[in-house]
Copies of this chain bind each other. A is one copy, B any other.
């Protein structure tokens, strides 16, 4: 199982965002939707062994966490608008999840929880944690152990407090190349490296 955890500073924690303005009204919900797609799909196929989790820290009531599980996902199609529509459906259950540290399966393969980013990392302390970071060692040279968890920042990057927390729990920094890539591009690059090693 490969997991990607995206820390979203502004991703809204309510279904009241506009599908015509995912970037503005959704707090970069467009970016989140693209990360869902790059984690879970390749051409004509869902990656059954992959899971995408976003930690939403935007208004009105953060934090919330949403997970998309390649194995159980149904009816979602890999375009931004459709993914955002599903996020909207799931966020309608936000009151039931708020403050809860459990996962609530709201739709096939899509779960919602009141877990914070640090809760998500703590849950995975025994796993192999990797922090995508420009100052890390090159992924092409790095050892990637089984069942890896990759932590990805959004367009602003991971807050210092959160990246330090992840490092204290054993996360290793890895980098992807000389450019600063979009979160979704980073996920594509990680997947390709793992595909090649399979």
Instruction: Tell me how far the C-beta of A112 lies from the nearest C-beta in chain B, rounded to whole angstroms.
Output: 24
Q: Is the CB of B181 within 8 A of A196?
A: no
Q: CA separation between A41 and B119, bound complex, in Å? A: 33
Q: Is the CB of A179 within 8 A of B155?
A: no
Q: CA separation between A93 and B185, bound complex, in Å? A: 32
- Cβ contacts under 8 Å, A38 to chain B: 185
Interface size class of A (residues with CB under 8 A): 20 to 34
- Cβ contacts under 8 Å, A177 to chain B: 192, 195-196
CB contact under 8 A between A30 and B195, given known A43-B180, A155-B43, A182-B42: no
Is A198 engaged at the interface, CB distance under 8 Å to the other chain?
A: yes
Q: Tell me the dominant secondary structure on chain A's binding face.
A: loop
- Nearest B-chain residue to A20, judged by Cβ: B81
Q: CA separation between A22 and B192, bound complex, in Å? A: 27
Q: Is the CB of B198 within 8 A of A178?
A: yes
Instruction: Tell me how far the C-beta of A119 lies from the nearest C-beta in chain B, rounded to whole angstroms.
Output: 27
Which chain A residues (174-198) contact chain B, with CB distance < 8 Å? Answer: 176-182, 185, 188-189, 191-192, 195-196, 198
Is A44 engaged at the interface, CB distance under 8 Å to the other chain?
A: yes
Is A80 engaged at the interface, CB distance under 8 Å to the other chain?
A: yes
- A/B interface sample: 19 pairs, CB < 8 A: A20-B81, A22-B79, A30-B80, A30-B81, A41-B182, A42-B180, A42-B185, A43-B155, A43-B180, A44-B155, A78-B182, A80-B80, A80-B81, A81-B81, A177-B192, A179-B195, A181-B192, A185-B188, A188-B188
